[in-house]
Amino acid sequence: MEAVTYSTLSSQETLRDPVAFYARLREREPLTTFMLGPMKIWVIATTYEETVSLMKDPRLVKDGRSVYQEGEAPEPLQQYMQQYGETLRLLTQNMLSADPPDHTRLRSLVSKAFTPRMIEQWHPRIQQITDELLDAVQGRGQMDLVADFAAPLPMTVISEMLGIPVEERAQFRTLTQALLHDLVIPGQESQAMAAGGTFIASIRKLLVAKREQPGDDLISGLLQVEEQGDRLSEDELVSMIWLLIVAGHETTVNLLSNGALALLQHPDQIRLLQQDPGLIPAAVEELLRFTAPVVFAGGRMAREDIPFHGQVIRKGEIVYISSVAADTDPQEFSDPEMLDITRQENRHIAFGKGIHSCLGAPLARLEGQIAFSTLLRRLPNLRLGCEPESLVWNSIHNLRSLKSLPVTF
C-alpha cells in the first residue's frame, strides 16, 4: 500500500468507497502519518476495540494548551498560533476543544436540550419542515437532493432551536462550509480563519439583538446563564453557538445525502424499507455505520509519549482516529462491507465514544428517521439522476460530503 498523504485521504477514490479504503488501512497500516501544513498528524485506523479505548484514553486530550507550558510548543505550532491566535482562541473555547473540568461545565449547560425526550418534542416540526421541502420539489420530478433537501432540513432545525433569524441562515451555511473545508486543506488556512472571523463577528451581532429582544430559544437561554454569573463567559458563549450551528447541521447533511445515495445503490434495501417502515430506526443506524458522514472524530493531542503498534506518538503530536475503520471491523460486525438495514446489535461509533460522544445524536437520529421515511413514502420512484461515477465529493479528509446528488422521481 502506498504511503498515506493528504491527497490520498481526500481523493475522490477514497471518498467514493471509504469502507474499502479504511478496512485496507486497518489490516495493513493501522498507524501512519501525513503532513498537514507544518504539522505531523498520526492517522489511526485500527480495530473496533482499540478505537473505542483510544477515544476514551485520557492521554489524548483536546486542549493543546494543557500539553505545553508557555513558549514550549514547537516552532511551527507557535507561528500558527501567533498568526491566527485570536480567531483560533475563540473557535476553540467550546466543549469539543475542551477537557474536564471545562468540558463537563460547558457540556452540562446544553445537554438537557438534547436529551431524547426533549428532542422528541421537535418531532412534529421536523416532519413539517421535511414535508414543506418535498412540497416545493414534488411537481418538478427532479431535484438536487443535497441543495434542495439534505442541507436545508438540518440547517432549518438547528436554526430554529437556537433562534437564528431566517435571513441569517444562508450566510451561516456558507461560512460553515468555508471554515470546515478550508481549515483542513493544506495552504487554505488563512481563508478558513477569515471565514472564522466573519462567523464570530456575525454571532456577536446576533447576541446584541438577542439581548435586546430575547426569545424562547437556546441562545436566549444561554445568554441568561452568561449574564447570571461565572458559569459561561461571553467568549465561551460565542464559541458554543458556532459549534452548535456547525456540528448541528453539516454532519447531518452528510447522513441524509450519503444515506440516500447508499439506498439508491441498493434497491433491495429500499424495497425492504418500503415493505416494513418499522425498519427505519435500524436503517438509520446502518447508514450511520456504512456511509461515514464523519470519517474522523475531532483531532486529539498526545499529552505524553504513547507507544502504539511498535511506534511512539510523541507528546504534542496530533492524532486522527478513524471511526470507519472500527465500524468495518469483522470482529465486531458480520459482513461489515455490506449494507444491511436489518443488522442486529449495531454498536457503531459514528457518533464517537467517551466524553465527547455526539451531543446531538438523538436529534440526528430523529432527523434521519423522519427524512428517510418521508422521502421513500412521498417519492416511491426515487432514482439516481446521474451515473454514480460522475458524483463529486468535497476533497476533505474528515467529512464525507457530496457536492450535489441529482435524483429523479
> How far is Cα 232 from Cα 171, in angstroms, rounded to an integer?
26
Q: Which is nearer to ligand HEM, 143 or 153 (CB)?
A: 153
Q: Alpha carbon 264 to chain centroid distance?
A: 23
Contact by Cβ (8 Å): 310, 277: no
Contact with ligand HEM (CB under 6 A) among 95, 219, 237, 295: 95
**261: nearest Cα among 365, 385, 366, 384:** 384
Judged by CB under 6 A, the chain residues 240 through 299 that form the site for ligand HEM are 243-244, 247-248, 251-252, 255, 293-294, 297-298
H or E stretch covering 219: helix 218-228
Q: Which is nearer to ligand HEM, 196 or 293 (CB)?
A: 293
Q: Which is nearer to ligand HEM, 163 or 352 (CB)?
A: 352
Judged by CB under 6 A, the chain residues 351 through 380 that form the site for ligand HEM are 351-352, 356-360, 363-364
> How far is Cα 75 from Cα 399, in angstroms, rounded to an integer?
29
> How far is Cα 354 from Cα 95, in angstroms, rounded to an integer?
13
Q: Which residues contact 244 (CB under 8 A, 6 or more apart)?
A: 110, 158, 162, 218
Q: Which is nearer to ligand HEM, 193 or 294 (CB)?
A: 294
Q: What does the DSSP 8-state code read for residue 246?
A: H
Judged by CB under 6 A, the chain residues 293 through 332 that form the site for ligand HEM are 293-294, 297-298
Residue 196 interacting with ligand HEM (CB under 6 A): no
Question: How many residues contact ligand HEM, by CB under 6 A?
Answer: 24
Give least dist CB 244 to ligand HEM, A: 5
Judged by CB under 6 A, the chain residues 105 through 164 that form the site for ligand HEM are 107
> How far is Cα 127 from Cα 138, in angstroms, rounded to an integer?
16
Give least dist CB 148 to ligand HEM, A: 19
Cell of 59: 492521554
Cell of 229: 454569573
Per-residue binder mask for ligand HEM (CB under 6 A), 63-82, x = binder: --------------------
Distances (CA, A) of 41 to 35, 78, 216, 317: 6, 16, 43, 7
Give least dist CB 354 to ligand HEM, A: 7
Interface with ligand HEM (CB under 6 A): 95-96, 107, 243-244, 247-248, 251-252, 255, 293-294, 297-298, 350-352, 356-360, 363-364
